[in-house]
Every structure is written in C-alpha cells, then in structure tokens.
Amino acid sequence: MKKQMKMSGIGFYLLVLAVIFCAVYFSGNIESSSSDSYSIANLKKDLGNGNVTSASISQNQEIPTGEVVVKLKSGKNVDFYVSDVKDVQELLDQWNVSYKLGDVKKTSWVITTLLPYGLGFVAIFLLFSFLSAQSANSGGGNSKMMNFGKSRARRIDPEEPHAKRFKDVAGLKEEKEELEEIVDFLANPGRYTDVGARIPKGIILVGPPGTGKTLLAKAVAGEAGVPFFSLSGSDFVEMFVGVGASRVRDMFAEAKKNAPCIVFIDEIDAVARKRGSGLGGGHDEREQTLNQMLVEMDGFGVNEGIIVMAATNRVDILDPAILRPGRFDRKVTVGRPDVRGREEILEVHAKGKPLGDDVDLKKIARTTVGFTGADLENLLNESAIVCAKEGRKFIEQEDISKSFIKIGIGKEKKSKIISEKDQKITAYHEAGHAILFHVLPDVGPVHMVSIIPTGSGAAGYTMPLPERDETFMTKGKMKQDIIASLGGRIAESLIFDDITTGASQDIKQATSTAKAMVTKYGFSENVGMINYADEDEVFIGRDFGRTSRDYSEDVAKTIDNEVKAIIDDAYAQAKSILEEHMDVLHKCAKLLLEKERIDREEFEALFEPDGVVLEKKEAVSEEVDVEPDSL
C-alpha cells in the first residue's frame, strides 16, 4: 500500500510537470497559424479571378509589417505575413474588396512576464516537494547528503526478539564472568555508587577474528536490559574533513539521551590507530576523529551509565591515549575456545540441524584444534549444505569430514586430469610428509593423505590433526615442524633423479619458522635473546626515510647462518628418517596411486608389520632435542 501511494505521488508530480511543459510550449506557439503556401502573388491572382470576398489586416509592432487574413468564396480563410500593409490596402482598394484594419498587436504582460517566471517558481516548488516526499517515504535514505555529520549507530533495544543474552554465547565462560559486574552495574548502579566505586568507562575486547567479540557485547546489553548502539569504526571515516568528529559528537549526545546504555564500536582500529602514523600529520581526518573521541570519553561522568565497548584484533596498533585508565581502562581477551568451549559452541550451532547417529560432537571438538566460533559455525553450515545437495534428511559424519577438508585445504577437484608421472611424484611427495608427521612425536598424527588436486592449487595434501590444545610452542616442536615440511622435497630427491617446484610453499613455511626461532623467540645461542624480528605493522610516517632493519651487517650475517643451520640440520634428520622407512614410503605411495586418498587407519596400518613405531618415536624425540619446558 505504501509503495502504491509512493508511485501515485510520483505520477502526480510527473503529470503536473508535463502540463507545465505543454503550457510553455503552446504559449509560444498559440498564434503561429500562418499558411506557408499562400503569398501576395496568390492574393493578386484570386483578386483577378474574383475569389476574394473580404480581408482583415493586423499590423505588427514593427510597422508597416503585419498579417493579412483573406476570406475566399469557398469559405476558406488563409493568412500570410507582409512587409508593408499599405501595399495590400492599395491592392484591395483597387479591386473594391472590403477589409478591416486592426490596431497594432500588443503582447500580453501575462504571457511575456508572469507566465515564464510563474512557471519557473512552480517547477522549483514541485521539485523540492518531490524530493522531500521521497526522503520521508524512504526513511531518510535520500537525505544522507544533508546528514553527513549524523551518527550512523544502529540501536537495538533489549526487548527486541533478536536481542542476545549470555545463554546465546557459548565457550566464553571466563569472559562472561568478567563482564557480569558490568551488567550488574547497569542494572543496579546504586550498589556501586554508594561505596564510591568507579565503573570502567570503556571495555575493549581483544582477540582473533571470529571468536565472538561482537556477540559478547550484544549479550552484555541484552542481560542489562539497556539500549545497545552498534556501529563500526569505519563509519566515522569520511572523505569530507570534520565529518568523523561530528559523528562522534552526535553519537555521544545520543547516548547521553538514552543513558544508561552501551555504545559498541566494532573494528575500532579503523579510527583509533596511533597518531603520527601517516603522512597527513595532525590534519589527518582519522586523527581528528580520534582526538574527538578521546575528548568525548573524558567528557561524561564516570557513573552516568554510559559504557563504551569496542572490539579489535589489532590492539598493538591502537593509540596509547585511548587505552589509558579513564577511557578504555579494561581489556578483556577473547581467545580461541578450548576443547570444552568448542563442544559447547557446536551444540549451539547444531540446534535446528538434524544430526545422524554417527555424528559425535565431542570427537569433532577434539579434532578442530584452533577453530574459532565462526569456523565451527561454518563447518556445520557447510556440512548441512553437503547433506542437502545429496538429498538426505540427516547430516552424517562423512558430510562433516568433507566440509572439514573443504575449509582447511580447499574443495577437491577430482575431474582434473593429471598425468601418471605427476601423480607418482605427488604420491611420493605426500608420503614423505605423512611418514614424518607420523614418526615425529609432537606434530602428528596424520588425519588424511590425498593426491587429489584441491581448489587452493595444490596437487595433493597431507592433513595432520593435533589431538590436544597447546598454549605455547616449544623449541622441539618448531624443529619438528620444519622437519615435516621438508619431507616432500626429500622424498622426491630420494626416488627420482630430479626435483620439482611442488615444495616451494613447504620451503617458505620452513624458512619462516626457522627465522622466527632465531629473530623472535631467542632460540639461537649465537644470536642470543634479542628480538630482531620485523615489525608487524608498517607506519609510513615513522618509517619514511629509515632503513628496513635496525641491526648491523654482522648481525644479519649471523642470523642468516643460524637460519641456514637450522634448515640444514632439519633436512639431514628428515632424510635419515625417510631412508629408514623407505619400505613404508613405497607402500604409501603405491596405496595412494590406487585409492588417491587414505585415512589415518589405512596409513598407520602400513607401519604394523615393522613393529617399531613406538621405538622410532622415542629415538626421534631424543634426536630432535624436544624441550618440555614452555617458552
């Protein structure tokens, strides 16, 4: 109904504009009724033939010009313009034809003055009326150009059906406990103000993407029963100078009107980066917006009931002024969930999804180490899509396994044609990786080995599956990661006369790990416990004109030598292990060529006839010098 009213209003304005156009057009052509085919020569001819009964002469303002209207015996009237009306008068008198001589024509002031200006004013009035009506009907959509400085915060009231509660947040037990006092303050502020307590003005949620920072902030507002204003840090940034600062002022003014409330700024690093990090200096639009935010957060009282929450995964690049007490004076770390948290998250996202009897959420939680809440939701959603595509009513474990591979490696491309030579090279390459993952004690076990090309461009993959959550990386485990990365290249060199480019990503990963051990974690005795790692964030304003490293050539040479020594030592150990398990290497490659993909049980069965799996693990553990202490 509303859409029909809008369309009828548009039709009305278009009709009015069409009428105005027609009026202007015909006003200029209302008197243009002359006959182009009749002339004074025709008049002389008709006078000679006696066809003219009467005439009428109208003089123009430019005398002696005028217009002559001749009435013929047939009853037809014809008119034409003449340059001298006196000649026509003499001609009519000569043939005794009666005529009327009209006065000089004067153009009406209504047509010459009032009509053009009046129509112009009417057109402008209708145009602005049309734009105003469109703005009102669209909820202000067309009025954004007039409201650059207005806040774009979206308000969510606690009584709305999609408002969140703590029960909707799974896997964040400690984080929810830390924020319960904020909820209690918003619900019962007198309990704290009576004893002189100061509630934090701002709370910043820090953690990797997808861990539930935004969901947690919405749950705080829902539990407290207060309005929740949500917007992104990029909403403040605009191409026009001063717009961001104006939006900050408007946002806090709106929050004061609705206190108590929560203001949530997602991805605050878009507007709160360290000042002086660009080439714009103090006149940079982002810095002006940050300055205004700093002033506003100091401007309202400590117990006014306004709490600012923000989320970021780059807390290291935020300006120190915004993290000091009195602004964002509390930091809550929202990390990746542990195995218990992953199980709770899976149970939440499994609601509404029919699961088969073979689906074990506890097992999935154990095998998804490092997954965030968003990753787990995506895993179950992809599994439901696979199930629906195959026309089944229940999600099976095989659907989850396929989705796990698709998310981690990429969708398999079974239709891609691979030559026998390339398949054989890929089989030995992946078998080399798999053997090292199985034998080394801290990097396995192997979940799946495949020589089917994937969407990521890889010709095959070996997927290890950590069985436990680890807080720290040990020196021994990092060494084993490098050893396992080099297994594919070493297997190629042992079996074939040539090597391929398939190990480029493995070499890159091994080099990155070895360099981090030397420059970042202090695992090298010759370099010492000094951080020589490059900064994660490059600030043009600070790094402009500065060298790319802050250490001497001698130190750089020492770092290069240490990195090469780690890689060379890992290469020698990996080659020794593969040479000892050459029979398994051949059996694994043969099985891969037959089945293209093997799982953990099929792969581990290749070691059973030897009976030396446990002994080899202990020997390798001593060889690679695994250090149990966490660093």
* Collapsed DSSP state (helix, strand, coil) of residue 598: strand
In order of 197, 277, 534, 546, 611, the CA distances from 542 in angstroms are: 41, 6, 14, 8, 60
**Is residue 202 a known part of a binding site?**
no
- Contact criterion met (CB below 8 Å) for 474 and 629: yes
**Is residue 210 a known part of a binding site?**
yes
- For strands 77-82 and 66-72, give the pairing: antiparallel
Using the CB atoms, write b or e for 316-340: b if 16+ within 10 Å: eebbebbeeeebbbbebebebbebe
Burial class (CB in 10 A: 0-12, 13-18, 19+), 161: exposed
Q: Which of 530, 576, 578 is nearest to 556 (CA)?
A: 530
Q: What is the residue whose two structure tokens read 């091994």?
A: 510
Q: Which of 175, 285, 430, 492 is catalytic?
A: 430
Q: Find all residues with CB under 8 Å of 57, minimum gap 6, and list them.
A: 66, 67, 68, 69, 85, 88, 89, 99, 100, 101, 102
Q: Which of 177, 586, 593 is nearest to 420 (CA)?
A: 593
Q: Which two tokens stand for residue 495?
A: 């079996």
DSSP alpha helix (H) spans, 108-212:
109, 115-137, 173-187, 190-193
**Is residue 162 a known part of a binding site?**
no
Burial class (CB in 10 A: 0-12, 13-18, 19+), 273: buried
**Is residue 140 a known part of a binding site?**
no
What whole-number distance in Å separates Cα of residue 464 and Cα of residue 292? 50
**Is residue 617 a known part of a binding site?**
no
**Is residue 211 a known part of a binding site?**
yes
**Is residue 116 a known part of a binding site?**
no
**Is residue 429 a known part of a binding site?**
yes
Partners of 58 in beta bridges: 67, 102
Active site residue 579: no
Side chain identity at 273, as an amino acid letter?
Answer: R
**Is residue 506 a known part of a binding site?**
yes
Q: What angle do CA 83, 86, 89 make, to 5 degrees?
A: 120
* Terminal-residue alpha carbon distance, the chain: 68
What whole-number distance in Å separates Cα of residue 69 and Cα of residue 120? 35
Partners of 333 in beta bridges: 206
What whole-number distance in Å separates Cα of residue 534 and Cα of residue 527? 15
- Contact criterion met (CB below 8 Å) for 82 and 89: no
What whole-number distance in Å separates Cα of residue 261 and Cα of residue 186? 8
* Residues comprising the chain, all counted: 631
Lateral strand order in the sheet of 154-156: 154-156, 228-232, 261-266, 306-312, 202-206, 328-333
Q: Which two tokens stand for residue 310?
A: 């923000």
Q: Which of 244, 56, 289 is nearest to 150 (CA)?
A: 244
Which residues are marked as active site?
430
Which residues contribute to the annotated binding site? 207-214, 429, 433, 506
Which residues contribute to the annotated binding site for Zn(2+)? 429, 433, 506
Which residues contribute to the annotated binding site for ATP? 207-214
